A and B are shown apart, each in its own frame.
Chain A
Amino acid sequence: MEKKKKSKNKKKFTWVNLAQLLTVAAFLLWMQWAVDSGRVLTIFVASPTSIVEEGIEIITDGTLWPHLLLTIQEALAGYLSAVVAGIAVGLIWTLFPVSEKYMNVFCSSIMAVPKVAILPLLILWFGIGFQSKAFLVFLFSVFTILYNTVTGTKECKKEYLKVAKVFKANRFQTVFLVIIPAALPSIFNGLKLAAATALTGVLFSEMQSARAGLGYLLTESQNLLNTPRMFFLIILITLLSVGAVKLIDAIEYAISYRWRHV
């Protein structure tokens, strides 16, 4: 368990940081110069100023919002149902080991299928709208969450289980008062991994076949050779992905900071 030291939070600005900033600045300047001077075609690279202009434009004229909102909704619907299902099945497996024996082979078989290969089938079943996207996101995330939950419960320290046994805790008490709290770090690890793949899933399916969403917007910008917009969307999607992981980090911290970060 990593303890965050106070000194780590109050980092000093060193000459290494300065060099890093200068490198980024130099790179951006080079992009700007290369495009403006015509040495690189605007189809291939967008200048930083054009990216910012394009971003401001699609934000202010309202082009972006419906797409952004839809993507977030699809991702959230799929992800949250995967969180519920993944943790619930993980709990059932832990409570009733025979259920794991029975279900594991099915779950690992479905997990082994590259999910993108199922997309055409999902489109046949659910159409190219919201449902097929959410379902693909669900498939992308649920196994990561499930197996991280199960691994976490199996790695519970033997000493903790002995304490539970000595006090004659029943199976439910042992699972909910001992095994689950002990497995929280692993469960949250799964939630974070799954959040990043959930976003990948929704974007992929939107790029394949959709009428809206950030993935659709990205493919459309490519077709229209709108390179600044593509750059802007890539940055936006990256921020979304980082933001999602940071949000889960914050939730984990709020739950466990008192005993893990002292």
Chain B
Amino acid sequence: MPAISIKNINKTYIDQDGNEVQALHDINLDVAEGEFVCIVGPSGCGKSTLLEIVAGLLDATGGEVMLDGQPVRGTSRDIGVVFQDASLFPWRTVRKNVAFGLEIAGVPKEGREERLKRYISMVSLNGFENKYPAQLSGGMRQRAGIARTLAMNPKVILMDEPFSAVDHLTKCTLQEELINIRQAENKTVLFVTHDINEAVFLADRVVLLSPRPSTIQKIYEIPLEQKRGRNDPLLLKIAAEIAKDINSGGQDIPNNYWGNL
């Protein structure tokens, strides 16, 4: 049984001019337990919309999302979300930000300590527990955001372009740490990104969405082990293929893709 099953999701909304816009059209996707799936697509194609629907933050116009065979209504503590800009609360320290979910869930204080320690050290924020978000770098803020999600021990983690706002070197480090965390925690991950290299480096499968109304244009299997080299020839080949397909947008547009990334 897949951990997450996205069934016939459609999303239509009314734009400012009162026109109906179809963002997502009949999206079907099964994500197996422990699988890491990346969703890529041209900007504005509805990747984040799809993620918000799976998270329960947005209602779909049609279709449903199943978690372990059960339909999901609204948000669920079994589905964690890591946001694009970490969205930490500036008035809370790193420790209190990471503890936010536990506090909301009413986990008693004695029970929190161990979990907080574990996840703060998992994201290498030891020594920064009492710092405020404004005192941290962008990468550190995102680590705290990841720890906040992990602390709730969700079955599935949704990540919405989590590394898009940090510099390249930090991004590479964070990607490698994410792979380590994934191995240690064995989580199911659905990861939205517009960075093809990031997608092929992290994922077991990459799902390419077409421009709106978005459908699943193509799914790419990445038959490599979780810890893989960035320059693995197969990885580069698949990345080139995705880049080529993304540019064609599923249509017969003359393709100016040069073949390198």
| A→B interface (CB under 8 Å) | 157, 159-160, 162-169, 173, 177-178, 181-182, 184, 256, 258-260, 262
Distance from B185 Cβ to chain A, minimum over Cβ atoms (Å): 18
| B83 contacts across to A, CB distance below 8 A | 159, 162-163
Chain B's nearest CB lies how many Å from the CB of A185? 11
* B interface list, Cβ under 8 A from A: 55-57, 75-77, 79-81, 83, 85, 87, 89-92, 100-101, 103-105, 132-135, 152
Known: A258-B132, A259-B132, A259-B134. A163 touches B75 (CB 8 A): no
Find B152's partner among A167, A173, A259, A260 (CB 8 Å cutoff).
A167
**Pairs across A and B, CB under 8 Å, 5 listed:** A162-B81, A166-B79, A168-B76, A258-B132, A259-B132
Cβ contacts under 8 Å, B135 to chain A: 262
Q: Provided the pairs A162-B83, A259-B132 are in contact, do residues A167 and B101 lie with their beta carbons within 8 angstroms?
A: yes
Residues of A contacting B56 in the complex (Cβ-Cβ under 8 angstroms)? 165-166
Closest Cβ of chain B to A142, distance in Å, is 26
Query: What is the bound-complex CA distance between A168 and B105, given in angstroms?
Result: 8
Q: In the complex, are the beta carbons of B91 and A262 less than 8 A apart?
A: no
The answer to whether B132 touches A262, judged by C-beta atoms less than 8 angstroms apart, is yes
Residues B91 and A173 in contact, CB atoms below 8 Å apart? no
Across the interface, do B57 and A162 meet the contact criterion of CB distance under 8 Å? yes
Among B79, B100, B105, B134, the residue within 8 A (CB) of A163 is: B100
What's the minimum C-beta distance from A52 to chain B, rounded to whole angstroms?
Answer: 46
A166 close to B55 (CB less than 8 A)? yes
Asked whether, in the complex, the Cβ of A163 is within 8 Å of the Cβ of B132, the reply is no
The CA-CA distance from A181 to B92 in the complex, in Å, is 10
Q: Are A262 and B134 in contact (CB under 8 A)?
A: yes
- Chain A residues with Cβ below 8 Å from B92 are 259
> Most A CB atoms within 10 A — which of B77, B87, B132?
B87
Contacts of A259 in B (CB 8 A): 90-92, 132-134
**Residues on the A chain within 8 Å of B57, using CB:** 162, 165-166
Chain A residues with CB under 8 Å of B101's CB are 167
Chain A residues near B75: list those with CB within 8 A: 165-168
Q: Are A177 and B90 in contact (CB under 8 A)?
A: no
